[in-house]
Amino acid sequence: MTHDILKKIKVLFIAGFGPIVTNQKENEQLFKNILGLPLETIEGYDGYLHVEKIQGVKCFALWPLDKAAMSCFGTAVWPKSLPVPQAWLEMDVADISSATLILEQSGYQLLTRLQEEPWGKIVTRFLSPDGILMAISHTPFLRDVAEK
Protein backbone atom coordinates (compact mmCIF):
# COMPACT_ATOMS: atom_id res chain seq x y z
CA MET A 1 0.00 0.00 0.00
CA THR A 2 1.43 3.39 -0.96
CA HIS A 3 0.59 6.84 0.31
CA ASP A 4 -0.07 8.01 -3.27
CA ILE A 5 -3.10 5.74 -3.53
CA LEU A 6 -4.58 6.96 -0.25
CA LYS A 7 -4.32 10.62 -1.29
CA LYS A 8 -7.06 9.92 -3.83
CA ILE A 9 -9.63 9.45 -1.05
CA LYS A 10 -10.93 12.83 0.05
CA VAL A 11 -12.21 12.66 3.64
CA LEU A 12 -14.75 15.42 4.27
CA PHE A 13 -15.30 14.93 8.02
CA ILE A 14 -15.39 12.39 10.82
CA ALA A 15 -18.93 11.09 10.62
CA GLY A 16 -18.80 9.09 13.82
CA PHE A 17 -16.77 7.43 16.52
CA GLY A 18 -17.39 5.36 19.59
CA PRO A 19 -16.66 2.19 21.49
CA ILE A 20 -18.00 -1.17 20.44
CA VAL A 21 -19.50 -2.51 23.65
CA THR A 22 -20.10 -5.98 25.01
CA ASN A 23 -21.45 -4.86 28.40
CA GLN A 24 -24.31 -2.51 27.55
CA LYS A 25 -25.42 -1.67 31.10
CA GLU A 26 -21.96 -0.75 32.42
CA ASN A 27 -21.17 1.35 29.36
CA GLU A 28 -24.53 3.10 29.50
CA GLN A 29 -23.86 3.86 33.18
CA LEU A 30 -20.48 5.43 32.33
CA PHE A 31 -21.30 7.35 29.16
CA LYS A 32 -24.90 8.37 29.83
CA ASN A 33 -25.27 8.55 33.59
CA ILE A 34 -21.77 9.49 34.81
CA LEU A 35 -20.36 11.46 31.85
CA GLY A 36 -23.81 12.88 31.12
CA LEU A 37 -23.82 12.39 27.36
CA PRO A 38 -27.37 12.88 26.04
CA LEU A 39 -27.44 9.45 24.41
CA GLU A 40 -30.67 8.36 22.74
CA THR A 41 -31.90 5.14 21.19
CA ILE A 42 -32.99 4.64 17.60
CA GLU A 43 -36.40 3.04 17.23
CA GLY A 44 -36.05 -0.55 16.09
CA TYR A 45 -32.31 -0.68 16.86
CA ASP A 46 -32.32 -1.68 20.52
CA GLY A 47 -29.04 -1.17 22.37
CA TYR A 48 -27.54 1.37 19.97
CA LEU A 49 -27.18 4.59 21.96
CA HIS A 50 -26.07 7.65 20.01
CA VAL A 51 -25.89 11.43 20.09
CA GLU A 52 -25.37 13.95 17.29
CA LYS A 53 -25.00 17.01 19.54
CA ILE A 54 -21.38 16.82 20.76
CA GLN A 55 -18.83 19.23 19.28
CA GLY A 56 -15.97 17.61 17.39
CA VAL A 57 -17.80 14.60 15.98
CA LYS A 58 -21.00 14.30 13.98
CA CYS A 59 -22.14 11.17 15.85
CA PHE A 60 -20.87 9.43 18.98
CA ALA A 61 -22.40 6.05 19.70
CA LEU A 62 -22.09 2.98 21.86
CA TRP A 63 -22.40 0.24 19.26
CA PRO A 64 -23.10 -3.21 20.71
CA LEU A 65 -20.82 -5.87 19.23
CA ASP A 66 -23.78 -8.03 18.22
CA LYS A 67 -25.28 -5.08 16.28
CA ALA A 68 -21.93 -4.35 14.59
CA ALA A 69 -21.70 -8.03 13.59
CA MET A 70 -25.27 -7.93 12.27
CA SER A 71 -24.48 -4.84 10.20
CA CYS A 72 -21.33 -6.39 8.72
CA PHE A 73 -22.21 -10.07 8.43
CA GLY A 74 -25.97 -10.44 8.84
CA THR A 75 -25.52 -12.42 12.07
CA ALA A 76 -25.29 -11.33 15.70
CA VAL A 77 -22.01 -13.23 16.22
CA TRP A 78 -18.65 -11.66 15.37
CA PRO A 79 -16.55 -14.17 13.36
CA LYS A 80 -13.79 -15.85 15.37
CA SER A 81 -11.50 -15.53 12.35
CA LEU A 82 -11.39 -11.71 12.72
CA PRO A 83 -10.14 -9.58 15.63
CA VAL A 84 -12.97 -8.28 17.82
CA PRO A 85 -13.04 -4.49 17.35
CA GLN A 86 -12.92 -2.26 20.41
CA ALA A 87 -14.03 0.90 18.60
CA TRP A 88 -15.54 2.16 15.36
CA LEU A 89 -14.48 5.14 13.26
CA GLU A 90 -16.42 6.43 10.28
CA MET A 91 -15.32 9.06 7.78
CA ASP A 92 -17.58 10.66 5.19
CA VAL A 93 -15.80 10.88 1.86
CA ALA A 94 -16.32 12.93 -1.28
CA ASP A 95 -16.78 9.91 -3.57
CA ILE A 96 -17.86 6.69 -1.82
CA SER A 97 -17.59 4.52 -4.96
CA SER A 98 -14.08 5.67 -5.81
CA ALA A 99 -12.93 5.40 -2.18
CA THR A 100 -14.32 1.86 -1.96
CA LEU A 101 -12.43 0.88 -5.11
CA ILE A 102 -9.20 2.39 -3.75
CA LEU A 103 -9.56 0.37 -0.54
CA GLU A 104 -10.14 -2.83 -2.54
CA GLN A 105 -7.16 -2.13 -4.79
CA SER A 106 -5.05 -1.43 -1.71
CA GLY A 107 -5.76 -4.93 -0.42
CA TYR A 108 -8.26 -4.27 2.37
CA GLN A 109 -10.84 -6.97 3.04
CA LEU A 110 -14.20 -5.23 2.86
CA LEU A 111 -16.79 -6.35 5.40
CA THR A 112 -19.52 -4.39 3.62
CA ARG A 113 -19.34 -2.79 0.20
CA LEU A 114 -21.50 0.23 -0.65
CA GLN A 115 -24.21 -0.99 1.71
CA GLU A 116 -27.26 1.27 1.88
CA GLU A 117 -28.64 1.71 5.39
CA PRO A 118 -32.39 2.26 6.01
CA TRP A 119 -31.74 5.93 6.94
CA GLY A 120 -30.04 6.73 3.62
CA LYS A 121 -26.34 6.35 4.44
CA ILE A 122 -24.14 4.36 2.05
CA VAL A 123 -21.24 2.67 3.82
CA THR A 124 -18.24 0.45 3.16
CA ARG A 125 -16.72 -1.21 6.25
CA PHE A 126 -13.33 -2.81 6.87
CA LEU A 127 -10.92 -3.43 9.75
CA SER A 128 -7.87 -1.22 10.30
CA PRO A 129 -4.51 -2.96 10.83
CA ASP A 130 -5.08 -2.62 14.60
CA GLY A 131 -8.64 -3.94 14.49
CA ILE A 132 -10.72 -0.75 14.57
CA LEU A 133 -14.00 -1.23 12.70
CA MET A 134 -13.52 1.43 10.03
CA ALA A 135 -16.04 2.85 7.60
CA ILE A 136 -16.10 5.25 4.73
CA SER A 137 -19.51 6.65 4.05
CA HIS A 138 -21.80 9.03 2.24
CA THR A 139 -24.29 10.36 4.81
CA PRO A 140 -26.70 12.86 3.23
CA PHE A 141 -28.33 14.04 6.47
CA LEU A 142 -24.94 14.80 8.07
CA ARG A 143 -23.86 16.72 5.00
CA ASP A 144 -26.99 18.84 5.19
CA VAL A 145 -26.08 19.76 8.78
CA ALA A 146 -22.49 20.54 7.77
CA GLU A 147 -23.67 22.88 5.00
CA LYS A 148 -25.87 25.00 7.29
- Residues of the chain with confidence (pLDDT) below 70: 1-7, 144-148
The pLDDT score that the predictor gives to residue 1 is 47
What are 83-117's pLDDT values in tens digits?
Answer: 999 999 999 999 999 999 999 998 999 999 999 99
Domains of the chain in sequence order? 3-147 (3.10.180.10)
What does pLDDT average to over the chain?
88
DSSP label of 27: H
Alpha-helical runs (H) found in the chain:
3-6, 24-28, 65-73, 96-105, 140-147
pTM of the model: 0.82
